[in-house]
Amino acid sequence: MKKPKMQILFAISIILISCLPVITNEGQSYTIFQLLAGNVKTMNPVIPTQVPAVLLLITPIQYLIHMILLIRNNTDRYEVVILYLSLLTTVLGIICILLCGIGENSEFAVWVWLRMVVVFIAYVSPRVYESFQDFKQNEKVQKLEEQNKRVGEKEKQREDAKYMKRIKKNPYLKKILWKIYKSNMRNSILLVTGAIISSAFLFTTIAVYEMFYDLQKGNVPVVGDELSVLLWDAIILIGIISIFLLALSLKIYVKSRIKDYNLMITLGMRNRVLRFFIATEYTGSLAVGLLIGIFIGSLLTIGFQSVIHCIYPTFISIELPGIKTYFIACFYIILLFLVSTFINHKIYVEMELGSSRQIPVSKENMPNRWLGIKCVVGTILMLFSSYTFSKRVWTESIYLIIMFLVGCYMIISAGGAWILKSYRKKGNGYYKRLPFLQQFYSRFKTHRSNLFMVYILHFLLIGYFSIRISGVLPLDRVQALFPYYYVCLGEKEDQETFKEFQKKLSEKSLILPMVRATVVSASEKNSGSRMDISFQGQNIGISESSYNQLTGRKLGLRNKEIYISFQQDKSEKAHLLDFSVLSGSPRMRFGMPEPYFFEERDKIFDSDYKVIGQERRIIVGNLVGGMQENIVVFSDEYFKSIYSTGDGPSILALFNINKDKEEEAAVKFSDYAKDHIQYSEYDSLIQPIYGKKVLQNNTLLAHMLKLLEYLFVMTLLLVSILYVFVVKMVSELPDTRSRMKQFKYLGMREGLDRKILAFENNVMTIMPLVLAIVASFSYIFITLKVRYFTKIEQQEFWQYEVWIIGVYTIINLIVAFIIGRVMICLGNREE
């Protein structure tokens, strides 16, 4: 069968399969056209069924056009485009069907998956058939050539093995390696320094994470999910930054050694011996960096422990990390080295060792294809990640930050190339500015990598970690998080006890009815997961009248409408009440948490609620860090129907104790807590009595730990920025000296060469700072919105944030000025 006939046959098959049912719902099948007509029953749809129907209908239309072109012209040059669009629209259509809420008893028909398989086969089979015929003709010739090659390779390997044995036994080998290393000491030191910084940063972060993870397993009250999750985010960020730092050092080192390697081959050194020398250089440098980095990381970890120990001696002891931590850190650091080496693989391929005696100055070509599409895709990634980041369901995920940075990279790469290419069309204006832009044209990839690396560091400092520091400050505001001296949970028979406490110990107190509202998941580690049910969350359910009594605000709730008031601090990340849902209402049941089978979840937990609003407002207090003991407000009618239907606490008592009764109150509330310890059986953080003093101390300690963590990571980022600037300056110094000489030989007037160097320095130091500040402000406003900051809190936040950004900007301007002066001075100095 000829290729066009085969393609027509496959096109007809795809069109026919597209007319078959797409989904089955309760035994009934639905085609694309029924979805388009909207005849399918859905549950809480996010989008209408017409969207996936249109996406799935595009494929048969494309293949109909494809078939017509094949019949008329016997070929179709748009075949590859049709394939990719078909797969893309099919995948998007399947995803959109999931968002339509097709129901629990619905499933995809086999024809959907069969169509994807046929599309693949339609593209591959004609080419496989042609390749198979060519393969038969060349098979015999290839076998003979391979046999001859194998014989030659075996003989060469034997000779090389004997030669390598003689080389390794050479008593002068160590001296030769040391002289090779010493001949390029400047870049060798940069390589070792990069390995040291990357190893030390990653080891310290992993060690601190292991320390907090062990404390979390030990149920230390102030260590919840958030601290360990924040440290895990820091590990991801520092790992990515370390890869870039090490890749930058490796790139500079390899490029500086290309001439030496070619000279060795020209003088008669065998390739295998040269590879042995190269591997020894890299492995030795990285091994030294690893050992020194782990040593420095151990000291930094002990220093971090010492700071915490000085603040809170009983919280943690000062000791070296465990052997497990060293093994884990070494594994990740070695993996980091391998990834950095792989990133520079293209440079190794471009070496072409021994191909010429002199290596010409290579021009780094700018990307020239799909620049507009890349800019559009980058913009979409930035907008999508920013929009998704503004949704509480994703808990300010670090992966959305990474997606945003990927979009930024695409815009910087494609946009920068487009601007430079467009500037060439300006004629005389282009030639006047060419001395200033020549380096960006000839070394575009290097400058792009350096600029983006500095941009990432600036953005993380300003747009991510500085926000969190400003959110924690000031530390003395923890008193406002606990309006009541004691918050008590009890049952109906405890009401008389609470009234007795009210008469004897407190003048200002409230006793309100409540229900224990349990949700499926209250752990940030389960965010976005529909399968993990390992940790149920406990919250306080009250009626609208009780909420009005506490706040003076009327909500006007009806039936199963609910209003959620998060009892959390502004420094804590935004999240949903129930982490098991991506959209819609939380899954709740009334009563204490109980084990259950996943298949019975929808029967046990009810999600038929309508959330009419959410707020972050301290009403009873920040009792469990905002993850649990939040307030869920029900309408008065519905609250009466659910009251007393579940087990657990049914009375909420709030007390402000008289000063002269504090000691007596402490004894009585302690006895009460011992009698109601069953409330803490499922989760030790849930208590029958929440005391203000204990909560204040624990919260203050948690805030101090957060602040130390943020300062620690910001210090690492600052050191990384300084290292990038130093590496850039040292690596460009020989080229700068050469260019300064060329400027003088060409008769360039005095001062213009300095302006050129100053312009290049400002572009690489100040431009990424400006771009990072602009991008950071968008994320700052999104964070303020998603965390429900009040106007007063926003004013307080900006007082600290403006100072942080201002001081940081001034420091960077000073550093940029110093680097520019140093480059000009060293460039004029003879080597």
- pLDDT confidence band for 826 (50 / 70 / 90): low
Tell me whether residue 663 is in a domain: yes
Q: What is the pLDDT of residue 33?
A: 77
Assess whether the previous peptide bond of 474 is cis (omega < 30° from 0): yes
C-alpha distances in angstroms, 561 versus 556, 588, 619, 639, 778? 9, 13, 20, 11, 33
- What pLDDT is stored for residue 366 in this prediction? 75
Element (H, E) at 752: helix 752-786
> Could you read off the pLDDT of 324-364 as tens digits, one per residue?
888 888 888 888 777 777 766 655 555 444 443 444 445 56
Domain termination residue (choose one: 698, 715, 745): 698
| Per-residue pLDDT at 633 | 92
pLDDT of residue 260: 67
In a shared domain, residues 341 and 224: yes
Count of structural domains within the chain: 3
* Domain co-membership, 82 together with 220: no
Residues 130 and 199 placed together within one structural domain of the fold:
no
Per residue in 401-439, pLDDT (tens digit) is 888 988 998 898 888 888 888 887 777 777 777 777 777
Say what the pLDDT of residue 632 is.
92
Distance CA 767, CA 754 (A): 19
- pLDDT value of residue 361: 45
Contacts of residue 532, defined as CB under 8 A and 6 or more positions apart, other chains included, come to 521, 523, 525, 526, 580
Q: Which of 698, 733, 759 is the last residue of a domain?
A: 698
Whether the per-residue pLDDT at 485 is higher than 60: the answer is yes
Q: Give residue for tokens 């504090």.
A: 662
Q: How confident is the model at residue 357, as a pLDDT?
A: 41
Q: Which helix (H) or strand (E) holds 132?
A: helix 110-168
Residue 737 lies in a domain: no
Residue keyed to tokens 């290729």: 3
Q: 428-442 and 752-786 helices cross at what angle (nearest 10)?
A: 70
Antiparallel, parallel or unpaired: β 106-108 and 23-25 = antiparallel
Geometric angle at alpha carbon 217, from 214 and 219, rounded to 5°: 115
Q: Is residue 332 part of a domain?
A: yes
Residues 128 and 229 in one domain: no
Read off the pLDDT of each residue in 705-723 and give the average, rounded to a whole number. Answer: 80
Read off the pTM.
0.66
Q: Which domain holds residue 661?
A: 480-698
Establish if 469 belongs to a structural domain: no
With respect to residue 250, please indicate whether it lies within any of the assigned structural domains. Answer: yes
Do residue 130 and residue 189 come from a single domain? no
- 352 and 485 share one domain: no
Mean pLDDT of the region 541-562: 88
Task: Tell me the pLDDT tens digit for each residue of 43-82.
Answer: 666 677 777 778 778 878 877 887 777 777 766 566 667 7
> Which amino acid is it at 556?
G
693 domain residue, yes or no: yes
Element (H, E) at 489: strand 486-490
Q: Calculate the CA dihedral of residues 619, 623, 624, 629 and round it to 10 degrees.
A: -50
Nearest CA-CA partner of 522 in 601, 621, 622, 628? 628
Residue 756 lies in a domain: no
Percentage with pLDDT > 90 across the chain: 2
Q: How many CB atoms lie within 10 A of CB 484?
A: 21
- Same domain, yes or no, for 354 and 496? no
Please report the pLDDT score of residue 216 as a whole number. Answer: 53
User: How confident is the model over 304-309, as a mean pLDDT?
Assistant: 76
72 and 194 belong to one structural domain: no
Res 76: pLDDT: 59
Considering the chain, what percentage of its residues have pLDDT values greater than 70? Answer: 80
Closest by CA position to 607, among listed 639, 636, 583, 640: 583
Mean pLDDT lowest for which of 30-34, 214-218, 447-451, 603-607? 214-218
CA distance 598 to 520: 10
Model confidence at 548: pLDDT above 80: yes
pLDDT digit string, tens, across residues 179-219: 666 666 777 777 788 888 888 888 888 887 777 766 555 44
Residue 128 sits in the same domain as residue 192: no
Across the chain, what does the average pLDDT equal?
Answer: 77
Contact in structure between 482 and 695 (CB atoms under 8 Å):
yes
At which of 640, 673, 698 does a domain end?
698
Render pLDDT for 774-802 as a digit per residue (tens, 0 to 9): 998 888 888 888 888 888 888 888 888 88
pLDDT tens per residue across span 716-726: 778 878 877 87
557 and 642 co-located in one domain:
yes
Residue 620 and residue 566 share a domain: yes
Question: Which residues lie below 8 Å from residue 287, measured CB to CB, with a gap of 6+?
Answer: none
Does the pLDDT value for residue 576 go beyond 50? yes
pLDDT tens-place string over residues 606-654? 888 888 888 888 888 888 877 788 999 999 899 988 888 888 888 899 9
Does residue 89 lie in a domain region? yes
Residues 598 and 525 in one domain: yes
Q: Can you tell me the distance from the alpha carbon of 67 to that of 76, in angstroms, rounded to the nearest whole number?
A: 9
Rounded Cα gap, residues 600 and 618, in angstroms: 35
Closest CA relative to residue 271, chosen from 172, 167, 117: 167
Residue reference for tokens 């995948």: 91
